[in-house]
A and B are shown apart, each in its own frame.
Chain A
């Protein structure tokens, strides 16, 4: 923007120091939702950055307090709408921990398989939008091709493409559909070659490298201190993954690597996430091949709805069905903090129960909120052109941030 000088004789020093405040968002295409950044600029250098969130605050934590435990599963989908099943899983695990419930192996493995599909789904949307922000249009089309197939698989399992609510307290919502094995196999057979296609487009692309290498650096100590988790930490060389360190839902039975890099920039975060996609595909294949037989929901008639068949033929099943649907179930008093590794980082549900059928308090420790807090540290002192690449590499979802 041309600066109009009032007086030709004005000392040059003074004009150079003049800073301007730039408002980015909340309706900016590259902020993926409604993030607002207030930036004070000195020329093209960002002097100060202040993120402003809360535009998508929907009071989900309050809503948990007036919904029976089982009904509240549907709320968790809406927190992080790119990874609904990760949120379902974390919530179900925390309530199951309060109940002290055993989940049968088939349900656990199915949960692992579908959560890994969610990770693929989320990483694909991230890669597509991140690339389009930086200017690589075609990657978007490639990624959404595979994402569409994943959404069809979700639809096959749950009847829903995005807000699946497929995991319920005590197991799964429905029996796995007939023919899921062929469908998953068909996808997973071609998926690694599709990841190669994305890499062909980007990994050695000089424009991509120019825009991302050496951009968006924050030191590891700063990240730990600011609450950053997930792929950003792994791209800084810290091998941290809740699937390995605090295994849940029988992740300890799967063989996979936790990819790390040491460059700690936007490019290395891209490489980490691409490698995570390959590892997720490995986990899905193991889960598909080794899927145990047996029940897909826990044997706990007070909590889990009976089979339709039993409900129509057996008196007790009908009574349990009626009680669960009309009243819900009580959860013993206590509090738990369950952590899982969501596609974005550490996702934790803190559930407090007072012994009634509705949660006393639910707090979600969402990865986007923690990651976004590091924005000022990342962008201050860098060029405005790098902001888009920098915040894109955080992979935040505003629904996840504001809840």
Chain B
């Protein structure tokens, strides 16, 4: 059963199942253009993802990425796209992180494919993933300053 404040949201069957698994985990959700998004408290990401993979058959993690909502706060969204082959269903899981020191637990323990995707998100957004086996830059050179996909990073210009 969904928490009282979220009853009006249409989070579908999966959202209700996640709410039954951990009532504090879900912080929001939306069903829009035939795509389901559920928002998860960032502290619960690993346990919810484990539940979604092993119990709800979302065996594939399609991609992990970030969205920078600068200057709004909480500034960052970490977006996970999950895919269940058995149910032929896709699910978007989202966590919001603050602008200062954005940190979230890595889901590499659930899906190994998260490894490179989280490295990419770290590289381009500066979001740190705790307990990641190998958190290094992947696209930019190792000695690069800044995180290019942040909204306050300029699109052109040269370094002096």
- A interface residues (Cβ-Cβ under 8 A, vs B): 53-54, 57, 59, 61-63, 65-66, 97-98, 100, 224-227, 238, 240, 245-246, 334-337, 339, 346, 348, 350, 352, 360-361, 363, 365, 369-370, 373, 402-403
Contact = CB atoms under 8 A, between A and B. Distances in A.
Interface in B116-151: 116-117, 124, 137-141, 148-149
Given A337-B90, A348-B63, 20 more contacts: A54-B137, A54-B138, A54-B139, A57-B139, A62-B155, A97-B33, A224-B60, A227-B62, A335-B32, A336-B33, A337-B81, A339-B90, A350-B65, A360-B67, A361-B67, A363-B79, A365-B63, A365-B81, A402-B139, A403-B139
A78 to B, nearest CB: 16
A224 B139 CA distance: 24
B113 A61 contact: no
30 contacts: A53-B138, A53-B139, A54-B138, A57-B139, A57-B140, A61-B124, A61-B149, A62-B149, A62-B153, A97-B33, A98-B33, A100-B33, A225-B111, A227-B60, A227-B61, A238-B85, A245-B88, A334-B33, A335-B32, A335-B37, A335-B92, A336-B33, A337-B35, A337-B81, A337-B90, A337-B92, A350-B63, A363-B63, A370-B113, A373-B116
Contacts of B88: 245-246
B112 A54 contact: no
B142 to A, nearest CB: 10
Contacts of A57: 139-140
Contact of B59 (A54, A63, A224, A334): A224
Interface residues of B, number: 34
Contacts of A337: 35, 62, 81, 90, 92
Nearest to A51: B116
B126 to A, nearest CB: 14
B115 interface: yes
A142 B30 CA distance: 52
Given A98-B33, A365-B81, A226 B63 contact: no
Of listed B59, B92, B137, B138, residue having the most chain A CB within 10 A: B138
A66 B61 contact: no
Interface in B74-121: 79, 81, 85, 88, 90, 92, 111-113, 115-117
B155 A66 contact: yes
B115 A373 contact: yes
B114 to A, nearest CB: 8
B112 A226 contact: yes
A363 B80 CA distance: 12
A352 B32 CA distance: 12
Top-3 shortest CB links A-B: A227-B113, A365-B63, A57-B139
A62 B148 contact: yes
Contact of A350 (B33, B79, B138, B140): B79
B62 A365 contact: yes
Contacts of A61: 124, 149
B107 to A, nearest CB: 12
Nearest to A54: B139
A97 B111 CA distance: 29
B62 A346 contact: yes
Contacts of A373: 113, 115-116
A245 B32 CA distance: 20
Contacts of A348: 62-63, 81
A403 B140 CA distance: 12
Contacts of B116: 227, 369, 373
Nearest to B134: A50
Given A66-B155, A98-B33, A245-B88, A352 B140 contact: no
A388 to B, nearest CB: 22
A54 B92 contact: no
A87 to B, nearest CB: 15
Contacts of A335: 32, 35, 37, 92
B31 to A, nearest CB: 12
A370 B117 CA distance: 9
B85 A240 contact: yes
Contacts of A238: 85
